[in-house]
Structure 1
Amino acid sequence: MVMIWTGFGRTATAVAAAAIALAGCAATETGGSPAKPRSAEGLRYLGQPLLQDIYIADPSAHVFDGRIYVYGSHDVDGTTPEDDLGSHFEMRDYRVVSFDRIGGKPTVHPVALDVRDVPWAEKQMWAPDAARKNGRYFLYFPAKDREGVFRIGVATSDRPEGPFKAEPKPIEGAYSIDPAVFTDGDGASYMVFGGIWGGQLQRWASGRFDPNGSNTDLGRNDAPALTPRIARLRDDMLEFAETPRPLAIVDEAGKPLLAGDHDRRFFEAAWIHKHDGLYYLTYSTGDTHFIAYATSRSPYGPFTYRGRVLAPVQGWTTHHSIVEVGGRWYLFYHDTQISGRTHLRNMKVTPLVHEPDGTIRTIDPFVR
């Protein structure tokens, strides 16, 4: 998935240097192949993979008690033929990665949750997220049930790295993929979720799953684009406190972005963060491979499109998180630098800058 980044000075240099050092760790799942220094087009990468011994994608980063924890998809090389619904993304468990600082040595923790230990799930443990409340840690994850429908579940632990124990049923009212949880300054937590095409969001347009529904909204170019859903979580963080609602994404005139607006409309991978009182909704545009962003004065929106966070990376998918670490903001993302294969992705990190006017400085994943 996923104008030109002009650099962040010493901070960017330090992060890149640390990432390059991390890329030298021993490889196992990657077959021992070191990360290539340049893309097939001869471009140098902005950053180097944070890991080279395991494929972790869709990185969702959080800081708990001063340590960085990253929750992501554990990519594996399966046997399912590739298709445009993502059937070849066969992920079946989660591994948490932690760092004591940006550029620090990574720790890859034991399996946090396996699909075999989720009573309702059958396969495809896609992009997760995590949250903490009252000393408990919550892992939110999508998976297909035995009818092939993506649901979103939750698992709990007393440790940020797990192991996590899954609730016996998925979250009532949750569907599709890519759950991301944002906790506001007042302590209220919200889940934003959804993804079209293989993520099945379009099949929930009526509020109930329609297996014969439109395969996508992309063919209805003049219709408002599908948007992610949001719902406030109950205090126990295990269920919704309200019915999920669409998050409106509008242009500068206040009109909904249209399905045919491929450079700006939502596809998947929604994430919310807050900076200087402004809520930022960031998301992938899918087939145009941008991470875009929109802003609002409320977590419920409407969100006004503002621009791009990240230009296209190497590889089809783009999925990210944005987190503040030690007073600085960072973008975690992934590409296919090591494998060159769409479904085997490696995570990266780079500094992110909020400009004084509320815009975000666009990042180019290559040094040009």
Structure 2
Amino acid sequence: MTDGNPIITDVYTSDPALLVHDGTAYLYTGHDEAPPDADRFVMRDWLCWSSSDLRSWTPHGPLLRVDDFAWARDGAKASCVVERHGRFWWYLAVNHATVPGGAIAVAVADHPTGPFRDALGRALITNDVPDDDGRDHTIDPWVLVHEGQAYLYWGKHRCFTARLDDTMTALAGPVTEIELPGFAEGAHVHARDGWCYLSYGVGHPQRVAYARSRGPEGPWTVEGIVNEVPGNCATNRPCIVAFHGEWIFFYHNGVLPGGGNHRRSVCADRLSYDADGRIERVRMTGEGLLGSG
């Protein structure tokens, strides 16, 4: 797990989410277990690795399974972990056992590697929030804590946002929809130098586009493409993080032997900004962070 991209090679991984805590990076991923001939996702749990240099990764095994949420039935999809109030909050997309469609779960722990437990005993968001449009739009949660306030983003085909209250387990205001042309899924928000950046999958197969705003609630201006369609994979889940003075773009592709749309692999390449703060297009490489940059 130190020879470039993909960064994890002994298992199929997807939907990267990074948390940096006390100088260590924690990588949380989905776990693609579809048989080689399957044309569907098989995802039962979420995995975790840690690293002090983003080159050598220590596995921590599955930290959560769908079965840890009594009200969920399957579909361990994209997730994100944030630190607040000295605890670690994990927001995860699953399928609901009784409410049609997807749902967002919340788990909590006192350490980045757990043990995590269901913080609510029920879903934070179900597929009828904010409305039931007949489509499954409740996937891919992302949380940004900005100037003391936590903001939740999620959605498929439609992008939603709402404030979280101080408990991190309830909404603190109305759900609003962010208008993003071609939005597919995978909303991710990060802040840098007075700007908020919303990156997301667009089209199909997916590229990653981004929009920029002076605040986490917009208004958002679409500015360009972050990366092109990844190799041998129709989906494209972004995660952008600063680590030891460098900005890094995490994503997944399907280039491992036997890989593809339902057997993906997490990768990482460097990301940079121009003088005006615009994201420059990421060059996806085989050497990844082992390259000279």
Shared fold per TM-score greater than 0.5: yes
Instruction: Compute the displacement of 1:288 (Å).
Output: 4.1
The code of the aligned residue for 2:166 comes to D
Instruction: Compute the displacement of 1:81 (Å).
Output: 4.8
Q: How large is the RMSD of aligned CA atoms in angstroms?
A: 1.8
User: Residues 78 and 238 (structure 1 numbering): CA distance in 2 closer, same or farther, change over 3 Å?
Assistant: farther
For 1:240, the equivalent position in structure 2 comes to 171
For 1:117, the equivalent position in structure 2 comes to 68
Match of 1:76 among 30, 33, 57: 33
Q: SS of 1:130's equivalent?
A: strand
CA distance in 2, matches of 1:154, 1:108: 22
For 1:143, the equivalent position in structure 2 comes to 94
Q: Aligned pairs, how many?
A: 273
* Contact in 2 for aligned 1:291/1:310 (Cα 8 Å): yes
Q: SS of 1:76's equivalent?
A: coil
Matched, 1:107 2:64: no
Instruction: Compute the displacement of 1:65 (Å).
Output: 1.1
* Contact in 2 for aligned 1:178/1:193 (Cα 8 Å): yes
Instruction: Compute the displacement of 1:169 (Å).
Output: 0.2
* Contact in 2 for aligned 1:59/1:72 (Cα 8 Å): yes
Q: SS of 1:22's equivalent?
A: coil
For 1:1-368, list aligned pairs within 5 A.
22-23=2-3, 47-78=4-35, 81-82=38-39, 88-103=40-55, 105-147=56-98, 148-166=100-118, 167-172=120-125, 176-184=138-146, 186-196=147-157, 227-249=158-180, 257=181, 265-314=182-231, 315-338=233-256, 339-366=258-285
Identity value in percent:
32
Instruction: Compute the displacement of 1:301 (Å).
Output: 1.2
Which structure exhibits the higher relative contact order, with contacts defined as CA atoms closer than 8 Å and separated by 6 or more residues? 1
CA distance in 2, matches of 1:362, 1:247: 23
User: Residues 311 and 172 (structure 1 numbering): CA distance in 2 closer, same or farther, change over 3 Å?
Assistant: closer
User: Residues 276 and 340 (structure 1 numbering): CA distance in 2 closer, same or farther, change over 3 Å?
Assistant: same
The code of the aligned residue for 2:30 comes to S
CA distance in 1, matches of 2:200, 2:88: 24
* Contact in 2 for aligned 1:286/1:317 (Cα 8 Å): no
* Contact in 2 for aligned 1:248/1:301 (Cα 8 Å): no
* Contact in 2 for aligned 1:319/1:333 (Cα 8 Å): yes
CA distance in 1, matches of 2:85, 2:285: 41
Q: SS of 2:204's equivalent?
A: helix
The code of the aligned residue for 1:159 comes to H
Moved over 3 A (4+): 78-81, 172-175
CA distance in 2, matches of 1:51, 1:366: 15
The TM-score, its normalising length taken from structure 1, stands at 0.71
CA distance in 1, matches of 2:51, 2:38: 35
CA distance in 2, matches of 1:178, 1:306: 22
The code of the aligned residue for 1:279 comes to C
User: Which structure: greater helix fraction?
Assistant: 1
The code of the aligned residue for 1:171 comes to L
The TM-score, its normalising length taken from structure 2, stands at 0.88
CA distance in 1, matches of 2:61, 2:260: 25
* Contact in 2 for aligned 1:67/1:100 (Cα 8 Å): yes
User: Residues 336 and 172 (structure 1 numbering): CA distance in 2 closer, same or farther, change over 3 Å?
Assistant: closer
User: Residues 80 and 177 (structure 1 numbering): CA distance in 2 closer, same or farther, change over 3 Å?
Assistant: farther
CA distance in 1, matches of 2:213, 2:281: 19
